[in-house]
């Protein structure tokens, strides 16, 4: 069936002016769904081509953020380059960019010009802080938006510093929201006949993930406490020592907690006057931990994880990134795929996070060589 | 213009069987884009109605994850409830659920039945680990998928424990991917005429955010080191003490680093034989920090942040969640909105993270009272 059904974005042409991370992630999400993404690169190429570990001059980082795209080299400082870009935009459905607000206009492609070139164009921007507001002109960087957004304030030990995460979370959230906005704007175009501008800001995106922490802050004025790997409002919760490693357990309510304690042979604890409410359990968190670890310490981690999950208690362990990438479930979900790059051999990279049963994401082509599609794409314009 | 243009998902009917967090976030993203989302609740309601701080019995947490939705009460253990659900599904474009894989089938709504009821139906599932694979039957919970995915392994101090983030990141990433997949599947339905199943797993979603950390791991076999708020491969980077607080600085390349040092009056450091390569700067990180803080310590944080950003150096500060929600940029981006709830008064909640210029997300209705739309929605079925 897959061969005869069209992918969701089949027939959608995307002109992609993005560099580095947030923007290329957005355009890759579109490419993975079947869009024709034309990555416009300056003569020197996207800087990411030179970043990360290079194997025979080839960047696995670049490969993993640019699969399913074409590459066209244009010097956008030259008149010819700008003319070609104008032609491409006229032929496209979507333009994606992650310049700072205003830069595209300075290059000669402000909103009026874009509208004149192509009134049906959807323009997607990933920005650090949004298209307007007092920080609109600030240069953006993931670490800074992690700091500004409140993300770091709710991450880390209770008595430690606010903590960033090592992954560029705000870039990726911004990129995913941009792709989501673009596909929605394409649907709006189907309804209304016209394109529009989609702006996804890294800071707004990560703030939208503050979820109940924000609800509570806004309702009560109380800061959510930083609490390391403990839950500030629930006990027991966290990492518990088994014979050969820690077991992560998160009983989300009393029913699940009862199952947890029962599996450990501690079912009576729920009736113990020292532990029969969550408030008491929080007050006696250390004592409760000791009871639990006394039961757990003789049996291997893997056995507890199996037994707890079988009983309906969410449980697992802290895996290194290497373990996660090689995890049986990650393998079953094909979260690591191998893409053959002619001239470079196979490159392993992250797979497709959302599974569509009839029109799945698939690898139609590896990340392009710099300018590898210039002739085909620009030649097509001349014929049009 | 906004009033006459249709929102992207205008005319799309979503039957929403989700509870708690990941699923309701996905269906809210659809509702915010204009879909008619019919939240099916058991007679007792979504448990979140009783969670978080209750103000006069009203949960701000529930309000902030269920705006723009309708509520219909159905007892899905009864035959009548199941019949009504079948009718609703036949009338819908999308079904969203976040049960464990297989539960919907046990309720009588397996894939064949859904296809018979409505071959054009898009079914979106948010799961912990995916619809199949060895962990498919495990109960899911954010803390566990943070642990299993490698997220915690790359978060925390170099000499400290792997660290979770306090926000339920894997729920929200899973929900956002689910919404993205659903809108794509609706487009595929426009092209192909048939619905399909969309599965977004929390673990796969957060793994897709491992970005260059995964590329490097897969290319080199080397674990990305945990490095607290320092960057493992770049110096200087991180938080630096100014007169009245720390300044977050992230010079992403040598050109930006030169600007940073020049603003501090330390431009000569780039030519100093002790600091003229990144490798040397990493080796002398502490010494470099001291040079920088000696310059910074006499001048207030806010002044450095302005001067650095003006010079093109990404810079900011660690804000508490309260500060972030009240930040001038967050206000300019309307990241906190106030929704009037008849009978409860105004409720402040997070705003819309992606901005569409012509058909913006907007608040059409507050989160519904339990069953508030039962009569209207089921009455409509009888007339159809």
Residue range B274-325, pLDDT digits in tens: 999 999 999 999 999 999 999 999 999 999 999 999 999 999 999 999 999 9
**Nearest CB to B324 within list A148, A196, A354:** A148
pLDDT of residue A21: 94
Q: What percent of chain A has pLDDT over 70?
A: 99
Name the DSSP class of B367.
S
pLDDT of residue A384: 64
pLDDT of residue A1: 44
Q: Do A191 and B6 touch (CB under 8 A)?
A: yes
ipTM for the complex?
A: 0.97
**Which residue in the block uniquely carries the two structure tokens 């603003």?**
B263
Mean pLDDT value of segment B28-53: 96
pLDDT of residue B4: 82
Q: Which CATH number fits domain A238-319: 3.50.30.50, 1.10.4100.10, 1.10.10.10, 3.30.1540.10?
A: 3.30.1540.10
Residues with Cβ within 8 Å of A322's Cβ and at least 6 positions away in sequence, in order, are B217, B221, B223
Q: Do A142 and B250 touch (CB under 8 A)?
A: yes
Chain B residues in contact with A253 (beta carbon < 8 A):
47
Residue range B8-20, pLDDT digits in tens: 999 999 999 999 9
pTM of the model: 0.97
Confidence of residue A88 (pLDDT cuts 50, 70, 90): very high
**A262 CB near a chain B CB, below 8 Å?**
no
Contact yes or no for B193/B122 (Cβ under 8 A): no
Q: Which residues of A are identified as catalytic?
A: 171
**B201 CB near a chain A CB, below 8 Å?**
yes
Mean pLDDT value of segment A105-113: 96
Residues of chain B with CATH 3.30.1540.10: 238-320
Give the tokens for residue A191. Answer: 């309804």
Enumerate residues 97 to 126 of chain A having a beta carbon within 8 A of any beta carbon in chain B. Answer: none
Residues of chain A with CATH 3.40.50.10540: 13-209+330-383
Confidence of residue B384 (pLDDT cuts 50, 70, 90): low
Q: Find the closest chain A residue to B63 by CA distance.
A: A215
Enumerate residues 58 to 87 of chain A having a beta carbon within 8 A of any beta carbon in chain B. Answer: 60-61, 63-65
Residue range A244-277, pLDDT digits in tens: 999 999 998 899 999 999 999 999 999 999 999 9
Mean pLDDT in chain A? 95
Residues with Cβ within 8 Å of B176's Cβ and at least 6 positions away in sequence, in order, are A173, A176, A177, A180, B25, B26, B29, B205
Give the tokens for residue A330. Answer: 């990650």
Q: Do A209 and B181 touch (CB under 8 A)?
A: no
pLDDT at A225 over 90: no
Q: What percent of chain A has pLDDT over 90?
A: 89
Architecture of the CATH domain A13-209+330-383:
3-Layer(aba) Sandwich (3.40)
**What is the C-alpha separation between A367 and A339, in angstroms, rounded?**
9
Residues of chain A with CATH 3.30.1540.10: 238-319
Residue range A115-170, pLDDT digits in tens: 999 999 999 999 999 999 999 999 999 999 999 999 999 999 999 999 999 999 99
Name the DSSP class of A226.
P
- Residue B366 vs residue B227, higher pLDDT: B366
Which residue pairs from B258-261 have beta carbons closer than 8 angstroms and sit at least 24 positions apart in sequence?
B259/B311, B259/B312, B259/B313, B260/B236, B260/B308, B260/B311, B260/B313
Q: Do B214 and A63 touch (CB under 8 A)?
A: no
Assigned CATH topology for domain B238-320 = formyl-coa transferase, domain 3 (3.30.1540)
Q: Find the closest chain B residue to A8 by CA distance.
A: B188
Q: Find the closest chain B residue to A29 by CA distance.
A: B180
């Amino acid at each position: 069936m897959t061969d005869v059904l069209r992918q969701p974005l089949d027939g959608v042409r995307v002109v992609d002016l993005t560099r580095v991370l947030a923007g290329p992630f957005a355009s890759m999400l579109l490419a993975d769904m079947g869009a024709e993404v034309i990555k416009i690169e300056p003569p020197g190429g996207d800087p990411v081509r030179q970043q990360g570990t290079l194997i025979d001059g080839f960047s696995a980082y670049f490969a993993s953020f640019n699969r399913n795209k074409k590459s066209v080299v244009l010097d956008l400082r030259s008149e010819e380059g700008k003319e070609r870009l104008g032609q491409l935009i006229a032929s496209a459905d979507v333009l994606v960019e992650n310049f700072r607000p205003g830069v595209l206009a300075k290059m000669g492609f402000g909103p009026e010009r874009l509208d004149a070139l192509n009134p049906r164009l959807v323009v997607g921007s990933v920005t650090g802080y949004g298209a307007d507001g007092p920080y609109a002109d600030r240069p953006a960087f993931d670490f800074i938006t992690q700091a500004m957004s409140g993300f770091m304030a709710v991450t880390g030990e209770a008595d430690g510093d606010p903590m960033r995460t090592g992954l560029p979370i705000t870039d990726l959230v911004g990129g995913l929201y941009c792709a989501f906005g673009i596909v929605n704007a394409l649907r709006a175009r189907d309804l209304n006949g016209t394109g529009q501008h989609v702006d996804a800001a890294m800071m707004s995106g990560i703030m939208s993930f503050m979820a109940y922490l924000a609800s509570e802050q806004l309702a009560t004025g109380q800061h959510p406490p930083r609490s390391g790997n403990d839950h500030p409002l629930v006990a027991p919760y966290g990492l518990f020592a088994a014979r050969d490693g820690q077991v992560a357990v998160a009983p989300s309510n009393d029913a699940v907690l009862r199952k947890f304690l029962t599996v450990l042979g501690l079912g009576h604890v729920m009736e113990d006057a020292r532990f029969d409410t969550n408030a008491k359990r929080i007050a006696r968190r250390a004592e409760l931990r000791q009871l639990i670890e006394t039961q757990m310490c003789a049996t291997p981690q893997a056995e507890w994880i199996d037994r707890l999950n079988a009983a309906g208690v969410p449980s697992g362990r802290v895996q290194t990134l290497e373990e996660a990438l090689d995890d049986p479930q990650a393998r079953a979900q094909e979260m690591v795929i191998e893409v053959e790059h002619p001239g470079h051999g196979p490159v392993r990279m992250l797979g497709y996070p959302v599974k569509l049963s009839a029109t799945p994401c698939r690898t139609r082509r590896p990340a392009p060589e710099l300018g590898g599609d210039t002739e085909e794409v620009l030649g097509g314009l001349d014929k049009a």
